[in-house]
Copies of this chain bind each other. A is one copy, B any other.
Amino acid sequence: MSDSLRGLFEAVRDGRLDPVEAERRARETLQADPCENLEFARVDHHRAARQGFPEVIYGQGKTPAQVAAIAQAIVNRGHSLLITRTDTAAFESVAKLVPDARFHEQARIIERRTEIPRGRGVVLVAAAGTSDIPTAEEAAISAEVMGNDVDRLYDVGVAGLHRLLAERERIAAARVLIVVAGMEGALPSVIGGLVRSPVIAVPTSVGYGSSFGGMTALLAMLNSCASGVAVVNIDNGFGAAAVASAINHLE
């Protein structure tokens, strides 16, 4: 942008452009909308440049046709495709326009990978119980699509500490950790006390009664007595992956 603004000034200096037209073009440049407007959505094609990964499609609340149209717009620009919280119906629509897209049913993800910069270390995804795996997979696959090596460590809940302690080395080896747990959400506190790497905690809606759809795990994680823990929304595996990937891509 800097160059073209300077270019305008140079063109004016050289008499190739008059100031009024130059001003009009300067304004146009400065306001240029990098978004492709699909009426119901403005696809933000500058996001990869600005934030390190292209726009991700949040599938919930969008019709299959809307999802597919946005997906196509993204793929057309040669960007990586990542659709979260989606389903079979959306995949059928997407597959017609993006035939090589893949659907991960458990993780509710549709994706199509392109070459992107690799993160520097390993992102470990730990899950407390078997029922937490769908959210853990959302995190793991998202992190992979974003260019990270992922190590999965599942069913290591705190009521059986030896399962966790037996994997201390893998835990210590990670550059970033995503820790997924429902119910009382204690796993991030225990892991947070073992490592010096940052821990991204993901509460899940696994549980019943006073687990309140994951609220209990969320609150527990926010109140962790371990100090290197930050938290994302309930069941938000993707969000954790986005933070972890941002960290893992730091030079």
Q: Does A93 contact B (CB under 8 A)?
A: no
Decide: B243 and A50 in contact? CB cutoff 8 A.
Answer: no
Interface string of A51-82 (1 = CB under 8 A from B): 11000101011100010001000000000000
A interface residues, tally (CB under 8 Å): 118
Q: Which of A158-177 contact B (CB under 8 A)?
A: 158-163, 165-166, 175
A214 to chain B, nearest CB (A): 6
Sample of 11 A–B contacts (CB below 8 Å): A13-B18, A42-B154, A50-B196, A51-B228, A159-B193, A184-B221, A190-B190, A208-B235, A210-B214, A223-B233, A230-B232
Q: Does A133 contact B (CB under 8 A)?
A: yes
Q: Which of A177-209 contact B (CB under 8 A)?
A: 183-186, 189-190, 192-198, 200, 203, 205-209
Q: Does A86 contact B (CB under 8 A)?
A: no
Beyond A186-B220, A223-B210, whether A243 also contacts B40 by CB under 8 A is no
With a CB–CB cut-off of 8 A, which chain B residues contact A242? 227-228
Q: Does A100 contact B (CB under 8 A)?
A: no
Decide: A166 and B31 in contact? CB cutoff 8 A.
Answer: yes
Decide: B163 and A44 in contact? CB cutoff 8 A.
Answer: yes
With a CB–CB cut-off of 8 A, which chain B residues contact A249? 196
Decide: B159 and A189 in contact? CB cutoff 8 A.
Answer: yes
User: Which of A12, A165, A214: most chain B Cβ within 10 A?
Assistant: A12
With a CB–CB cut-off of 8 A, which chain B residues contact A101? none
With a CB–CB cut-off of 8 A, which chain B residues contact A32? 166
- A31 vs B12: C-alpha distance when bound (angstroms): 22
With a CB–CB cut-off of 8 A, which chain B residues contact A39? 154
Decide: A130 and B209 in contact? CB cutoff 8 A.
Answer: no
Interface string of A74-104 (1 = CB under 8 A from B): 0000000000010000000000000000000
Interface string of A211-228 (1 = CB under 8 A from B): 111111111111111111
With a CB–CB cut-off of 8 A, which chain B residues contact A206? 60-61
A93 to chain B, nearest CB (A): 15
Q: Which of A1-57 contact B (CB under 8 A)?
A: 2, 5-6, 8-10, 12-13, 15, 18-20, 22-23, 26-27, 30-35, 39-42, 44, 46-47, 50-52, 56
Interface string of A123-155 (1 = CB under 8 A from B): 000001111110000000000000000000011
With a CB–CB cut-off of 8 A, which chain B residues contact A230? 200, 230-232, 239-240, 243
Q: For residue A213, which residue of chain B has the nearest CB?
A: B209
